[in-house]
Amino acid sequence: MDENTKKSNLRHVAPMARSELEQLHTGSLLTRLRKLHALHERYEDSDWSEPERQSMQDMIAFKNTPAWQQAYEDVKAVLATREHVERGSKARRQQAAWRKKHR
């Protein structure tokens, strides 16, 4: 990897054990799920150079890898154990925002 390219500029997700995921807050799990969804489908579809790819061997960077599949399944499994809270209707949220604004 050349000196102009930084590892932090490349989309990737660090691998985590399921036991670590279970310790995270639900919001953090949802953020991880969004990050997994945002990764490139495969190396060939990305604009990464071969040195960049080699530098990310220990990270999850592409969806067509077993590591991505396992990470996705783990996050979904942990989220399935969490309580789901309905957002409520859009009208109710707008009314609550209006009442808060006009106190």
> What is the distance, to the nearest Å, from the Cα of residue 18 to the centroid of all Cα atoms in its chain?
15
Q: Of 30 and 5, which is predicted with more confidence?
A: 30
Structural domain including 46 reads 7-101
Total number of domains constituting the chain: 1
Q: Of 28 and 1, which is predicted with more confidence?
A: 28
Examine residue 1 and state whether it is found in any structural domain, yes or no. no
What spatial distance separates the first Cα and last Cα of the chain, rounded to whole Å?
A: 56
- Name the average pLDDT for the chain: 83
Question: Quick check: pTM over 0.85?
Answer: no
- Segments in the chain forming alpha helices (H): 18-22, 26-38, 50-55, 66-80, 90-101
Examine residue 17 and state whether it is found in any structural domain, yes or no. yes
Q: Is 11 exposed, middle or buried (0-12, 13-18, 19+ CB in 10 A)?
A: middle
